[in-house]
Amino acid sequence: MENTANQPIGIFDSGIGGLTVAHAITQVLPLENIIYFGDTAHLPYGDKSTAAIQAYSVKICDMLLKQKVKAIVIACNSASAAAYELVREYVGSKAKVLNVIDPTIRYMGQHYAGQRVGLIGTKQTVFSNIYRKKTDELDRDITLCSLATPLLAPMIEEGFFNHNISQNIINEYLSSPVLADIQALILACTHYPLIKHDIESYYKENVQVLDSSLIVAESLQNLLAENNLLRTENPQPTKRFYVSDYTESFEHSTKYFFQEEVQLEHYPLWE
């Protein structure tokens, strides 16, 4: 079936961190229906193997395709690094596919040629070297300085942000010599927008902190427009939020990530 503008947008992440991307999408594209899937049964993806992440991603995309989505946004840096090419091949012409890495790389190429840019993310994202590889392919003389910050995502999941404990951990990471003399810092994890203020406080506005969620949302808008898939009217947009493993703590945390109350539905994809 050919995609139509009235079909929903599918978004998935290893957990609820991708709700920062989902929120940005609803702000940029308020007329669109969205379906979000958080694979909370397997979070975090940051310490999973490439093969495992690929298997999870394909199964989630299969579920989203059954929901007749017109586009799938991989709202997870680890899954974008490990599974984007496989997902794009698997989905084929059934839906447009967007990851969270390529739009950020394009933005960096447009604004930071010849400069030093820092990046913080999970071990999987950083050690995959996907950002470094794509940055080198830009041929814009950008020096990318990447640092794995594995404590940040679980810290945020547990609600430790805007707090003395979180600030101490953030300061410890950002003081690494790896990030010395950078002009900008990429937040290469969908959890990190929640600590963007703390990171900006550390740099005292001397470094531009790049939250990729808005960059991704605007890139999705352009992709849909190019393919005549933008919804032009919708009096009551719907938002569905599924998780593969439900706990009350996830429900409680969602309002921080999505910035409004969210009703989570348990979807036992792995049973």
Tell me whether residue 26 is annotated as binding.
no
Of 25, 43, 75, 76, the catalytic one is 76
Q: Do domains 9-99+214-266 and 102-212 have the same CATH topology?
A: yes
Tell me whether residue 212 is annotated as binding.
no
Q: Is the pTM of this model over 0.75?
A: yes
Q: Is 186 exposed, middle or buried (0-12, 13-18, 19+ CB in 10 A)?
A: buried
> Which residues contact residue 196 at a Cβ distance below 8 angstroms, ignoring those fewer than 6 apart?
187, 209, 211
**Chosen CATH of 9-99+214-266 out of 3.40.190.10, 1.10.1740.10, 3.40.50.150, 3.40.50.1860:** 3.40.50.1860
Q: What is the DSSP letter of 153?
A: H
The CATH architecture one would assign to domain 102-212 is 3-Layer(aba) Sandwich (3.40)
Q: What is the DSSP letter of 8?
A: P
Tell me whether residue 191 is annotated as binding.
yes
What does the pLDDT profile of the chain (271 residues) look like in tens digits? 578 999 999 999 998 889 999 999 999 999 999 999 999 999 888 778 999 999 999 999 999 999 999 999 999 998 998 999 999 999 999 999 999 999 999 999 999 999 999 999 988 889 989 999 999 999 999 999 999 999 998 888 777 777 788 899 999 999 999 999 999 999 999 889 889 999 999 999 899 999 889 999 999 999 999 999 999 999 899 999 999 999 887 888 888 899 888 899 999 998 7
Tell me whether residue 20 is annotated as binding.
no
Of 69, 105, 189, 207, the catalytic one is 189
Tell me whether residue 50 is annotated as binding.
no
Catalytic site includes residue 61: no
State the Cα–Cα distance between residues 216 and 39, nearest whole angstrom: 20
What are the strands, taking DSSP E only, across the chain? 9-13, 34-38, 71-74, 96-99, 116-121, 143-148, 184-188, 208-211, 239-243, 264-266
